[in-house]
Amino acid sequence: MVRLSLISLFITLAYIPSFSQQVLPSKDQIAWADAEMGVIIHLDINIFAPETFDYKKKETLPDLSIFHPSKLNTDQWVKTAKAAGAKYAVLTVKHGTGFCLWPSAVNDYNVGHTPYKKDILQDFIASCKKYGLRPGLYYNTNTNTYYGTHDEAYTKAVLAQLNELWSNYGPMFEIWFDGGLQNGLEADVLKMIHDKQPQAILFQGPLKAGNTIRWIGNEDGFAAYPQWSRANETTASDGTVKIDGLHGDPEGKYWCPGESDFPIRRNYAWNGGWLWKAGEDKDLFSVKELMEKYYKSVGRNTNMLVGMVVDTSGLIPKADSLVFDSLGHRLKQVFSAPLAVRNNLTQSIIEFGNKTGKAASQIMIMEDLEYGENILAYSLQAMMGDKWKEVATGESVGHKRIQTFSPVNAEQWRLMITGNAGPLHIRKVALY
């Protein structure tokens, strides 16, 4: 044990680089990382006129009389999300058409002037409270077919609607800025966030707000690896063009982790798979494919945000609900019974045993983000005969790293942290 302690001390001292000052997450960013998985729910008036609507032509906007989702049930949406394992839900309260799911006083193109009439956002938030999910909202500040031109009147309308949303519906867990903030809105939005939603996590929001998260560069749910929580800039993309190499930066000036968003229907489906259209159940991802996305998002230190569609009846379609439910069952099946687990560790060599007789094929590592992101390199080793054999290596960990490897049946294991930027605070190591 003395020999291991000396090795541990040597490793810890040998690999501390001269990093810039420590960058730490806010308490809200830590809570967001702990949530790990959410959904983003898409409903817009154009699903009632998919063949005729064109985002670039205001004259194709569907008439308000067409919006009548007769079975709309926000409880069903939220229960479906919870069954999948989601801890938060974001609702697209105004997508590209400009149609609003709340009765906005700014213009008449909203749910209050349709046959349906009810405030969908209000019902959604009530459902989130009822089933224990944290509510968030998406309001696209850059695309709005109803207004067309981006002028001073447009900017005033956007700010007025954000003020309604952020003043009247309580605290939001996450606020989505699809494509970032354009049209000179940043200064006004920053002040409004500070005054009305200071705790909200801001997807592609202003870095100065302090609770910003960034896009991972694609809508496939595959985060690049290594994936660092720190970065020097955020993203400002609407997702239509992929961006490679968004790894973050272990020496970045801001805590700005990634969120991996993707629709549950394939990207070649209508509206990129984000909105419902009849006959597209065949485009749903399988549970096996969703699990791959989980490993490449949550397992690579980002949150996973799955797109849910609402159909013209106002429900998550049955085929989609079955997939979400199966995903939740599969996640519980895989991660509910670790072969070995250790918690709250500060050493650079962590030994643990697997006496189950079962082969291991996955390692989960979690850092305590209260102390930042300090692991820069690691090696997982198993005792084979009388020698340690390396079975997996990696770089970034952050909130969570899940790494798979070829099955190994061994009783003795160790995780060696071979590079770190500061004192180690490892929340959990688990073998599966």
pLDDT in tens, 102-134: 999 999 999 999 999 999 999 999 999 999 999
Q: Is residue 27 part of a domain?
A: no
Same domain, 293 and 388: no
Look up residue 57 and give its two tokens.
Answer: 């032509």
- CATH number for the domain that contains residue 97: 3.20.20.80
pLDDT in tens, 283-312: 999 999 999 999 999 999 999 999 999 999
C-alpha 98 chain-centroid distance: 24
| Residue 370 in this model has a pLDDT that exceeds 80 | yes
Taking the C-alpha atoms of residue 368 and residue 25, their distance in angstroms, rounded to an integer, is: 11
What integer pLDDT is reported at residue 19 of this predicted model?
47
Same domain, 64 and 100: yes
User: Bridge-partner residues for 88, per DSSP?
Assistant: 38, 134
Q: What percentage of the chain reaches a pLDDT higher than 90?
A: 89
Same domain, 347 and 267: no
- CATH number for the domain that contains residue 363: 2.60.120.260
| Order of all β-strands in the sheet with 375-384 | 349-353, 412-420, 375-384, 387-394
Same domain, 330 and 372: no
Number of domains forming the structure of the chain: 2
Average pLDDT, the chain: 94
* Cα dist from 230 to 116, 209, 248, 381, whole Å: 44, 15, 6, 28
Q: Is residue 280 part of a domain?
A: yes
Listed residues 335, 362, 390: the one ending a domain: 335
For the segment 49-71, the average pLDDT, to the nearest whole number, is 97
Structural domain containing residue 84: 36-335
Are the C-beta atoms of residues 309 and 264 closer than 8 Å to each other?
A: yes
Same domain, 359 and 222: no
Q: Which of 41, 135, 40, 45 is nearest to 98 (CA)?
A: 45
Look up residue 151 and give its two tokens.
Answer: 């002028």
Are the C-beta atoms of residues 293 and 84 closer than 8 Å to each other?
A: no
Taking the C-alpha atoms of residue 150 and residue 54, their distance in angstroms, rounded to an integer, is: 17
Same domain, 303 and 183: yes
Same domain, 11 and 87: no
Q: Flag the least confident range among 151-155, 216-220, 367-371, 418-422.
A: 151-155
Listed residues 289, 315, 335: the one ending a domain: 335
What integer pLDDT is reported at residue 331 of this predicted model?
98
Sorted by sequence, the CB contacts under 8 Å of residue 84 that are 6+ apart come out as: 37, 39, 306, 324, 325, 327, 328
pLDDT in tens, 169-200: 999 999 999 999 887 899 999 999 999 999 99
* Angle (nearest 5°) at CA 82 between 40 and 210: 50
Same domain, 331 and 417: no
Same domain, 329 and 381: no
| Residue 413 in this model has a pLDDT that exceeds 70 | yes
